[in-house]
Each structure stands twice: as C-alpha cells, then as structure tokens.
Structure 1
Amino acid sequence: MSGFTYKDIYIEDGGRVLEVNILPEKYCNFDCIFCPIGKSQNKVDVQRSFDGYESSLAELDRMIESTKAELVFINSKGEALVNDKIGDIIDFIKGKGLHVRLFSNGYLLGRDEYIRIANKCDEVVGEIKVIKEEDFRKIQRPIEGYTLKEYISNMASFSKQYNGVFIFEITIIKGYNDDEESIQKIKNIIKEISLDKVIIARLEDEVFKKKLGIADERFEEILNELLSL
C-alpha cells in the first residue's frame, strides 16, 4: 500500500486548506486506546522509507493546482515525522509559495532531527490528552521509556525556539482530565509550553463517546476556564 490520501478542500479563516496524509497506514509512537484509526501495528519513532514517493509527490502537485490550496495541512495516520521524506515534502510545498501546517502528537519535538523539520513549517500542532503518568502509560500506550514529563518538556523546549505558530490541542476525556484538579494542571502546562493558540477538543468518535465523552455543559465550563487564560 502506498500513496498519499486527502480530505476534501475546506475553508478556514477565508483560506483554502488541503489536508493530506503522507503515511500508507498507521505508524505512530503511541497506540492510544481511543485512536479512531485503530490499533497500531507499526509502533515506531524513527523514520521509515515508503514506496511510491515520486508518484505521490506528483499527485500532491496536481491536488494543489486543482484545488487552488493556500495552506497544506499535513495530518497523517499516526506520526507524520516518521516518513523519511517529510522534509522534502515540506520544502516542495513551501517552494510553491504555500503555507504548511504540521500535526504531530508532539513527543518527537524534543529531538534535533525532528525540530529541524518542524521548524520549516509555518504552523505546528502538538497535543495532550492526559495529565497523569499512569494514565499516559495506560491509555496512550507510548513506546517503552516515554514519560509524560518528557512529553511536556519536549513541546515546551520546541515552542521556545520556534518562530512559527505553535498550536496546542487539548482533548478533554471523561474520568481522566475533566475534574478541577486536572484543569488546574492543564493550565500550568499551557503556561509552561508558551503557546500561540489553544484548541480544546473532546472525543467525537461514537465508539468512545459514550464512555469517555464529556457532557455539553461540563465541556463548556472547561472551555471557558481554559480559554480565559
């Protein structure tokens, strides 16, 4: 299996956004229990080479032209940074005069080789879903040796040296980070990372929503509290 996949072009802040997945299947350094893509068979945090790069790049070129995209959002099945051609893909898009947004779970943003790649982008999106070490290991199931403390530290160090827009997505999960103590910890994390933009989200997949979804009223309370910082 090879090739990039795309979502339909959409408008955001008046601009045309083309969202592209550059991985043939799920390759990630996490294996979150609530991942809508499913279980990871390829748990990695080092770069891999994938077939069909030249044809995929040609297809990306055609997609950019046909959709008249103004921003390309690299949002992949897992961690896009593990594609060993990602730096070249970003350079190609930038060479066409377009802005690039990269979605990463954020853990790899503490490594020099990945920092250099992410620094090419106009926008980088990192994320966090739990705020306790035991929950991080239990429900995000990262590669052995990963810690929540290092995860946060990696994004904080990246943010401090990054000249683009660093966006932080926080997913509120029932029973894990929706209590008042957790919200206070999230506030501290937001301050530590020094962010340009914060997005508060919740699980929308119907499979996980019943058990881990946040009620509308509580979600609004959390939203107001965190976005008022």
Structure 2
Amino acid sequence: MGVFSYKDIYIEDRRRVLEVNILPEKYCNFDCIFCPIGRSQNKVDTQKSFDEMENSLKELEIIIENTKAELVFINSKGEALINDKIGDIIDLIKDKGLPVRLLSNGYLLGRDEYMKIADKCDEVIGEIKVIKEEDFQKIQRPIEGYTLEEYISNMVSFNKQYNGKFILEITIIKGYNDDEESIQMIKNTIKKISPDKIIVTRIEDEKFKKKLGIADERFKEISNTLLNNW
C-alpha cells in the first residue's frame, strides 16, 4: 500500500476528478497561521525523498483505472513540488492520457527546476493570500529570505513561459486584504500575473472563520470587483 491519500471522485465541468495528496505529512515553504493542516514542522523548499514511492505510483495507476478518472488534481499537504518524484507522478498520469492540475502556493514556480516540472501540467494553480510585505511575513511565515515581491515575480515569470492554463486563487482575509487599498493592489497584481482564470475564496475553516472570515455581503462585493475588472 502506498502513502498517497485520495478524496472521493467528484464531478467538475462534466469531468470525473481524482484529487490526490502526494506528501506523507505536511511539507511546505510557508507556515500560514490559518492553515487547516496545522503548523509546518517541515518548513523546506528543496525536494525530499519519501518511502514507498514505488508502491504509491502503482496504487495511483490502479486507482486512476478503477475510478475512471478524467482529470487528476495534485493537491497536497503543503507544497507538492517538494516530493522528488513529482515528475514521475505527472508522467504516469499523462501516460494514462489524462490531464493534470497542480496546486502550488506559487513561490517555487520561478525556479528553473520547478518550472520545468510544472510545465508538464495542463493546469497550474498559484495562490495569493495577502498583498502587503508585513502581512506576508506575519501571517504566512515563509522561509527566511522570502519576500512578497519575489513571490509575485516568480508567478509572473512562470506564467510568461507557461503554455497551459494558469489559475490564480485569491483568498480574502478579514483585516488583512479586505480594504479598498488592498483590493486595488490585488487588481494590480492580477494584471502583472495575467492568469487565465481567477478564483476568489475566503477562510472557511471553522477554527479561523470567526476571526479571519469575510461576511457574505462584503465577500460578494469584493469577488465581483476582482472578477469583473481584470
């Protein structure tokens, strides 16, 4: 038995989506205070080897066949690019004739070795949570030396050369990026990155929703502003 974990197949745009986590536990280059997985005990941005990868790949192949998946979504506990077998994982899925969607927080996408891996995917999702440097350091708690400017620049660089569909997921967080100045900054960032699609979301985890969640009316207002003006 492998170490990957899976969500039940669900339908999206008439396709059967198989969502897979390829990390045995949380490995990430951030340590966001609102992460539903919890604290980052393994805060890294270099690739790691994990046990049972051969069995995990065999199991993935069987599950793809048994579930009749039509798209595989790599959505992991942390940053999926940390798994040093991610290239093999993507190749296996592609060899099955299926498209691959990869969720990355986006910081590593500007580095050549990770860019080449992400380029294999049909869809890549990058993220923006906050829009000011102070907030980035305070609540996303990245690896030392990371900056918000570089974060955005990495996604800009990636998308300029990427031939697939780049999706930007923007999380609206109460008290951090829900004011008018921040919304304008987000709009400017969207223009820089120039994604193919935008997803606007909010904090839904019950542990953080009361403090960081956005009220329905304000969330709708911000969503409309971002989705209709880019």
Q: Is the shorter-chain TM-score for this pair beyond 0.5, marking a shared fold?
A: yes
| Aligned equivalent of 2:131 | 131
1:37 and 2:37 correspond = yes
Change over 3 Å in CA distance of 1:2–1:16 after alignment to 2: closer
| Aligned equivalent of 1:174 | 174
Q: Provide the C-alpha distance between the structure 2 equivalents of 1:19 and 1:127, rounded to a whole number of angstroms.
A: 18
| Aligned equivalent of 2:213 | 213
The alignment partner of 2:195 has SS state of coil
One-letter amino acid matched to 1:12: E
| Aligned equivalent of 1:93 | 93
Percent identity over paired residues: 80
Contact 2:17–2:73 (CA<8 Å) still a contact in 1? yes
Contact 2:6–2:18 (CA<8 Å) still a contact in 1? yes
The Cα offsets for residues 127-184 of structure 1, whole Å up to 9 and x where unpaired, read as 0100010100000000000000000000001011000000000000000000011000
The alignment partner of 1:18 has SS state of strand
The alignment partner of 2:19 has SS state of strand
Contact 1:48–1:83 (CA<8 Å) still a contact in 2? yes
Q: Provide the C-alpha distance between the structure 2 equivalents of 1:77 and 1:98, rounded to a whole number of angstroms.
A: 22
Q: Provide the C-alpha distance between the structure 2 equivalents of 1:22 and 1:223, rounded to a whole number of angstroms.
A: 31
Q: Provide the C-alpha distance between the structure 1 equivalents of 2:105 and 2:2, rounded to a whole number of angstroms.
A: 23
1:199 and 2:175 correspond = no
| Aligned equivalent of 1:159 | 159
One-letter amino acid matched to 1:186: I
The Cα offsets for residues 86-124 of structure 1, whole Å up to 9 and x where unpaired, read as 001000100000000000000000100000000000000
How far apart are residue 62 of structure 1 and its match? 1.1
| Aligned equivalent of 1:121 | 121
| Aligned equivalent of 1:183 | 183
| Aligned equivalent of 1:83 | 83
Q: Provide the C-alpha distance between the structure 2 equivalents of 1:195 and 1:40, rounded to a whole number of angstroms.
A: 28
| Aligned equivalent of 1:4 | 4
How far apart are residue 52 of structure 1 and its match? 0.1
Structure 1 portions without partners, runs of 5+: none
Q: Provide the C-alpha distance between the structure 2 equivalents of 1:2 and 1:106, rounded to a whole number of angstroms.
A: 27
| Aligned equivalent of 1:22 | 22
Contact 1:4–1:21 (CA<8 Å) still a contact in 2? yes
The Cα offsets for residues 54-81 of structure 1, whole Å up to 9 and x where unpaired, read as 1101110111011100100000000000
TM-score (norm 2): 0.99
Q: Provide the C-alpha distance between the structure 2 equivalents of 1:2 and 1:165, rounded to a whole number of angstroms.
A: 30
The alignment partner of 1:186 has SS state of helix
How far apart are residue 2 of structure 1 and its match? 6.2
Q: After TM superposition, which residue ranges in structure 1, 4 or more long, deviate above 6 angstroms?
A: none
Aligned residues: 229
How far apart are residue 83 of structure 1 and its match? 0.2
One-letter amino acid matched to 1:63: I
One-letter amino acid matched to 1:107: Y
The alignment partner of 1:20 has SS state of strand
One-letter amino acid matched to 1:35: C
Q: Provide the C-alpha distance between the structure 1 equivalents of 2:18 and 2:12, rounded to a whole number of angstroms.
A: 10
